[in-house]
């Protein structure tokens, strides 16, 4: 069985759809590659952001639940999402975010790399990590960020856990991650790919307060498999190891299975195929609400229940720091 390649997507919770779209599209320069609904709750949107085509390893998704309370980060969940950027882009992002009213803090190096830390409008922690690794993504030319400074897809995620061993065993023995280092209570595990989304960090916080789910919380992290047969291998493998794994779920743009880690983090394993261009051309990705066939007859009711939002004109970022 092949090792997990890395992150496929990350799904989080927002409160206001317009604020969410403005930040990830207008500020961070991620293309809104799919506008659809939560298949388990069609009264709310499901936004997918990524590179030009929604390449696995670049995809950040949100459920904007308007009535949800504010979350609190804590043990038992994914606490931070890191994107890669070229080392020379760190200064640009610090200055650019400041001009957007976002306070970003340049931390001391982590495993030898500079890290710029800030939060999105709902308080979710984001990081930009200086990286020289290859990045197999498609640059969105219509976006606000110049290609030399654009986000390179995910670098990785950080899990906050009371203890490390059980989740580390899941990552290494069941999913094929390799332990690559430890510093300051942070344990790093690397997937098989050498491109995007390859790291899962566990930050050990013994006795730390548990998280409270809400706006700004990360709902789950999804790992990559190439196709259905590989996903089924993992389903059987995880079941044999004693994990409670869901049946395969059809998510239209990929197929998914879900299970919880021993530390409480919700994991998904998703297929790369079929991708986001199955129901609209690449040039029009995300421009209109897409519904799966099983919701087609309810389009009028679904559209009436969803709040309106606009895709504002893109303003190109000025490069004033090199």
* pLDDT tens, residue by residue, 34-64: 999 999 999 999 999 999 999 999 999 999 9
Question: Does any domain span residue 312?
Answer: no
* DSSP 8-state code for residue 247: P
Provide the whole-model pTM: 0.97
* pLDDT at res. 302: 98
- Going by C-alpha positions, the residue among 89, 180, 73, 98 that lies closest to residue 128 is 89
* pLDDT at res. 179: 98
> How does pLDDT run across 191-203, given as a tens digit for each residue?
998 889 999 999 9
Question: What integer is the mean pLDDT of 296-303?
Answer: 97
pLDDT exceeds 80 at position 320: no
| Structure tokens, 249 | 């779920």
Question: Does any domain span residue 248?
Answer: yes
Question: What integer is the mean pLDDT of 89-114?
Answer: 95
Indicate the Cα dihedral angle 193, 226, 176, 39, nearest 10°. Answer: 110
- Going by C-alpha positions, the residue among 62, 264, 256 that lies closest to residue 162 is 264
pLDDT exceeds 80 at position 204: yes
* pLDDT at res. 103: 96
Question: Does any domain span residue 317?
Answer: no
Question: What integer is the mean pLDDT of 141-156?
Answer: 97
Average pLDDT, the chain: 96
Question: Does any domain span residue 273?
Answer: yes
Output Rg (C-alpha) for the chain, integer angstroms. Answer: 19
Question: What integer is the mean pLDDT of 195-224?
Answer: 97
CATH number for 176 = 3.10.180.10
Q: Indicate the pairing of strand 266-271 with strand 255-260.
A: antiparallel
Question: Does any domain span residue 237?
Answer: yes
* pLDDT at res. 299: 97
pLDDT exceeds 70 at position 255: yes
pLDDT exceeds 70 at position 322: no
pLDDT exceeds 80 at position 314: yes
* pLDDT at res. 1: 82
Question: What integer is the mean pLDDT of 207-234?
Answer: 97
Question: Does any domain span residue 192?
Answer: yes
In the beta sheet, which residues pair with residue 271?
225
* pLDDT at res. 267: 98
Per the structure, the count of domains in the chain is 1
Q: Where are the beta strands (DSSP E) in the chain?
A: 7-14, 31-38, 41-50, 59-64, 77-85, 105-110, 113-119, 125-130, 154-161, 178-183, 186-190, 199-204, 218-225, 249-250, 255-260, 266-271
* pLDDT at res. 107: 87
pLDDT exceeds 80 at position 316: yes
Show the DSSP H helices in the chain as ranges.
Answer: 17-21, 90-99, 165-169, 228-240, 299-305
* pLDDT at res. 269: 98
* pLDDT at res. 319: 80
Question: Does any domain span residue 321?
Answer: no
Structure confidence at residue 11 as a pLDDT band (50, 70, 90): very high
Range of the domain at 268: 7-305
How large a percentage of the chain has pLDDT more than 70?
99
Structure confidence at residue 318 as a pLDDT band (50, 70, 90): confident
Question: Does any domain span residue 145?
Answer: yes
* pLDDT at res. 9: 98
């Amino acid at each position: 069985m092949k090792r997990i390649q890395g992150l496929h997507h990350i799904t989080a919770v927002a409160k206001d759809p317009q604020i969410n779209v403005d930040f990830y599209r207008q500020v961070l320069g991620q293309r809104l590659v799919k506008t659809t609904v939560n298949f388990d709750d069609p009264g709310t949107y499901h936004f997918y952001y990524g590179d030009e085509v929604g390449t696995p390893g670049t995809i950040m998704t949100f459920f904007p639940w308007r009535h949800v309370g504010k979350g609190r980060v804590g043990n038992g969940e994914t606490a931070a999402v890191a994107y890669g950027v070229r080392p020379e882009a760190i200064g640009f992002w610090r200055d650019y975010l400041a001009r957007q009213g976002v306070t970003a803090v340049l931390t001391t190096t982590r495993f030898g790399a500079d890290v710029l830390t800030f939060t999105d409008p709902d308080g979710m922690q984001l990081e930009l990590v200086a990286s020289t690794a290859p990045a197999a993504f498609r640059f969105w030319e219509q976006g606000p960020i110049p290609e030399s400074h654009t986000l390179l897809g995910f670098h990785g995620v950080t899990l906050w856990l009371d203890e490390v061993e059980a989740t580390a065993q899941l990552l290494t023995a069941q999913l094929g991650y390799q332990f690559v280092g430890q510093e300051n209570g942070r344990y790093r595990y690397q997937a098989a790919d050498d491109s995007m989304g390859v790291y899962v960090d566990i930050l050990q916080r013994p006795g730390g307060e548990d998280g409270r789910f809400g706006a700004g919380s990360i709902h789950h992290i999804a790992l990559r498999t190439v196709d259905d047969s590989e996903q089924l291998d993992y389903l059987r493998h995880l079941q044999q190891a004693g994990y409670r794994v869901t049946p395969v779920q059809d998510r239209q743009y990929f197929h998914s299975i879900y299970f919880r880690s021993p530390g409480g983090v919700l994991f998904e394993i998703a297929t790369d195929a079929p991708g986001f261009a199955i129901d609209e051309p690449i040039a029009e990705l995300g421009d209109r609400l897409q519904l799966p066939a099983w919701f087609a007859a309810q389009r009028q009711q679904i559209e009436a229940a969803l709040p309106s939002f606009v895709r504002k004109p893109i303003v190109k970022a000025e490069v004033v720091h090199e």
